[in-house]
Structure 1
Amino acid sequence: MWRDIWLLYRMELVPSLRTPTWIAVGLLQPVLYLVLFGPLTEQIAATTPGYPPGGAWALFTPALVVQLALFSSSFTGFSLLADLNGGVLERLRVTPVSRIALLLGKVLTNATHTVCQALVIVLLAALMFDLRVPWLGVGMIVLVAALLAVTLASCSQALALRLKNDDAFLGLLNTVLLPLLLLSGILIPITPGLAPDWLVTASEINPLTYVVDAGRAGFRGDFDSAALLQGSLVLAALAALALWWGTRSFQRENV
């Protein structure tokens, strides 16, 4: 199985390394948020009661990494739909290759892209703006980006395999992603001092909120906080469930 995973991972990764334009395109949105929206958060953090401690950039940068993983990984199902429509997946199914490898080849490739893009975002924030973050915090946000990419890419692959339709898949993503983004407090933290009670309650239901809070705790250097532990446990549970769902979908889909 591990050899199959490696072969399919390399098959997916090598073409993307030969055309790194798509990796750069994936960075465009978070870089624009970093440059055009990030400076506004400095004034908001300095003047708004209830804004979490830690500094504007230590709060905004890890949230951007989560946003990057959210959007770049959620759309990976389109590549599976292309393989399905083009007969590529059908040809792979008649080989002895492991069904788990069919999932993990794409998922790990996406996680590799996401980690590289996350490092670029952190580097740009450190060079261009007033970001000061401990090295352990950088390592933690890289791990968060990788696990979140694995989680979302696995869900995306499973959904694409279930729906088998580009329009239905896109419509579902657009319905789900925007509430996840807004309720996670990525752009502006959702705290009792800033938001009404009903919005705080809705944010607490969103599992992505705890992942964002964990990233922010790491960037503040608050490594013994409850937010970091809680977010780590939520992310680990989500990753395990997503991999189980994705693996089960590929094993059952054997036509």
Structure 2
Amino acid sequence: MTTTTPAPTTAAVRRAISSTPRPPRPGPLTAALAFGWRGMLKVKHVPEQLLDVTVTPVMFLLMFTYLFGGAIAGSTSAYLDYTLPGLLVMSVLFTTVYSGVALNTDLTKGVVDRFRSLPIWRPAPLLGSLLGDSVRYVVAGTVIIVVGVALGYRPDGGFPGAVAALALVVVFSFGLSWIFSVLGLLMRTPNAVMNAGFMAIFPLTFLSNVFVDPATLPGPLEAFVDVNPISVLATASRSLMAGEPDGAAIVVSLAVAAVLALVFIPVTTRLYRSR
């Protein structure tokens, strides 16, 4: 014969719960870091997500260096010295588009509704997601620098200059990613976010000094390239990697990143609460 234990009554369950102290509510930073770790876990379970920060930067570096190096600079080595800091900027900035894609995916799948039902600081999922994406920015930039060194690039600023340039690009990308977060909350599908994001960032990237010296361009185009924030960021990165920091370009890049964050963080938060 077998005996079965009767199921606990509702009253017994309530007594067990009430006898346990309520765990402390997580603070804003703790909640944001938890959602940042969630982004890392997604990469762990789906490693293909790293293709855009590993394979794509290498493809851009090899393609532009060996296809256009001889025609533009006379040799691939000379062109590599000029274009690698710019390709560092381009590769990391392209990665920011996927911040909006990931947010839109969570929104369309109902994950955001579950996050809003949790007793946590409301912007924590947004901030945590972008903090997690910053790790992807570091990976993309590191891949570019390592492959460039393997191809013969030697920054005069040494290791500190390369790290400083990467840090500046990551900070700028964090500010830029809030724009694509707004797109992620406004668009209806992830594909729409990706298309709109690349339509916006492609012209700005190619109409910059990433690939060619602005002095070789027509007058009106040169004037636009000189004030393009991506050109300023590329100039700042080149100066840091060359060991001769351009203070004005660095300050402007940090200021643009701060303005983007200050303008688009409230917009993103408001849209997040209303969707």
- Please report the TM-score for the alignment, with normalisation by the length of structure 2: 0.79
Structure 1 letter corresponding to 2:117: V
Confirm or deny that 1:231 pairs with 2:253: yes
Q: Which amino acid aligns with 2:182?
A: A
Identify the residue that residue 12 of structure 2 maps to in structure 1.
Answer: none
Question: Is the aligned partner of 1:136 residue 2:164?
Answer: no
Structure 1 vs Structure 2: percent identity of aligned residues?
A: 23
Within the candidate set 46, 56, 74, 2:97 is matched to: 74
CA 1:17/1:196 → structure 2, altered by over 3 Å: closer, same or farther?
same
Are the equivalent residues in 2 in contact too, given 1:60–1:187 (CA < 8 A)? Answer: yes
Structure 1: stretches of 5+ with no match in the other structure: 48-54
Going from structure 1 to structure 2, the CA distance change for 1:243 and 1:66 (only over 3 Å counts) comes to farther
CA–CA distance in 1 between the matches of 2:45 and 2:71? 42
Which is greater in Rg?
A: 2
Count of aligned positions: 245
Correspondence 1:16 to 2:39: no
The answer to whether the aligner puts 1:195 opposite 2:178 as a matched pair is no
Q: CA deviation at 1:46?
A: 4.7
Counterparts in 2 of 1:131 and 1:172: CA distance versus 1, 3 Å: same
Match of 2:73 in 1: 45
Q: 1:224 to 1:172 in 2, by over 3 A?
A: closer
Higher RCO structure, 1 or 2 (CA under 8 Å, sep 6+): 1
TM-score by length of 1: 0.85
> 2-side partners of 1:117 and 1:171: how far apart?
21
2:45 and 2:60 map into 1 onto residues whose CA distance is: 27
The answer on 1:60 being equivalent to 2:87 is no
Alignment of 1:88-103 (within 5 A): 88-103=111-126
Does residue 217 of structure 1 match 2:239?
yes
Give the AA of the match of 1:114: Y
Tell me the secondary structure at the aligned position of residue 136 of structure 2: helix
2:139 aligned residue (113, 116, 124)? 116
RMSD of aligned residue pairs (Cα, Å): 2.4
Long gaps (5+) in structure 2: 1-27
Does the 8 Å CA contact 2:40/2:132 hold for their aligned counterparts?
A: yes
Greater CA drift, 236-245 or 112-121: 236-245
- State the Cα deviation string for residues 127-153 of structure 1 (Å, max 9, x = none): 222333422211112212321331232
- CA distance in 2 between counterparts of 1:182 and 1:226 reads 22
Change (3 A) 1:217 1:238: farther
Contact 1:74–1:152 (CA under 8 A) maintained in structure 2: no
Find 1:28's aligned residue among 30, 34, 55: 55
Aligned residue type for 1:65: L
CA 224–168 in structure 1, closer or farther in 2 if over 3 Å, else same = closer
